[in-house]
Amino acid sequence: MLKIPFNRPSVSGDELTNVREVLASGHVSGDGPFTAQCHAALEALTASKKALLTTSCTHALEMAALLLDIRAGDEVILPSFTFVSTANAFVLRGARPIFVDIRPDTLNLNEQLVESKITPKTRAIIAVHYAGVACEMETLLRIGERHRVPVIEDNAHGLFGMLHGRPLGSFGTFATLSFHETKNISCGEGGALLINDLSYLNRAEIIREKGTNRSLFFRGQVDKYGWVDLGSSYLPSEILSAVLFAQLAAHTDLQARRHAVWDRYAAELNAWASENQVILPTVPAGHEHPAHLFYMLLPTLERRQAFIAHMKAAGIMTPFHYVPLHTSVMGQQLGSRSGDCPITENISDRLVRLPLFGSLTVEEQALVIERIKAFAV
């Protein structure tokens, strides 16, 4: 039986060439020439002031928590409909996550509910750009400014996304990126911290270098380096940077392939979805998505589960997505309860994701679409 996975990692064709160059150079640890090229490329693509590669988006979020001096008793506002790392990075520092429900259209943090959750203990607002469609950043930034609370963009899905012509990753005090194998641009495992307030830059470099001022030493700004702050080993090897740069250099082609797949789903499933009470992704005016995910909302949990089984029987993988964090074991241990975020719970029960990757052939996608249309909603 033909197997169509949910994801196949992108390949530009130059990854091995770059890796061979690194191996021949003798410098395979972090912060070599390919890392510098990745930093420059990401700063250009996101209009952020400074990019620092990390070993994962999780570690970029952990760096953000350290930079904000998050401590026990602090509160951080975030959506429940997100990956566990969005919460864990701050819980690790002792903070309590304050979960806010999502909008029913974009599935992003509902900006209208955020201000009511702010208390004197609030230390950050985390905006997760679901499927790379932007949160309402202007509203969130105004709320943050009123209460002197920084806004962080969890932009794991959103590299190449735009809001009113401005790249995602350029709005928050910090933004984080993921280069996991499921992302548009990948090095297997990797991430980046984007810094838009340069007053944090020196400390970010120290935290990323195990709490040492090694970066200052290599720039000749200090005579020797030592342990000066908290930190960990957050920088990736030059081998991973070489793979990543090959994909960043080829991003125009890689993105064009993904958009072709996304657009075909949208065009060919629109009538079927309308007839069967199935909701396709919403992209509001002024928002440009990066073709990261194509999801569908089935009418009920039962129909969603039946759909997944229907597709699996044909060898096509169509997974659901996040289980709400506020209903999880950890979420409830931290004080949340089922029913706190009803839209999140409803969406989580109904959402299914379709195969979307650049090497998905027209023939494969035609089979996916044919099988979808054969499902009796």
The string of pLDDT tens digits covering residues 218-228 is 666 766 688 88
Give the pLDDT confidence of 174-220 residue by residue, as tens digits: 999 999 999 999 999 999 999 999 999 999 999 999 998 877 766 66
Instruction: Check residue 213 and give its pLDDT.
Output: 84
C-alpha 285/C-alpha 164 separation (Å) is: 8
Tokens 């203990």 -> residue: 121
Q: How far apart are CA 29 and CA 239, in angstroms?
A: 8
How are beta strands 151-154 and 96-100 bridged, if at all? unpaired
Whole-prediction pTM: 0.95
Note the pLDDT of residue 220: 65
The pLDDT, as a whole number, for residue 1 is 62
- In sequence order, the β-bridge partners of residue 351 are 297
Give me the pLDDT at residue 224, please: 67
pLDDT score recorded for residue 325:
97
Question: pLDDT tens-digit profile of 27-56?
Answer: 999 999 999 999 999 999 999 999 999 999
- Which stretches in the chain have pLDDT values below 70? 1-2, 217-220, 222-224
**Token duo for residue 320:** 């659901």
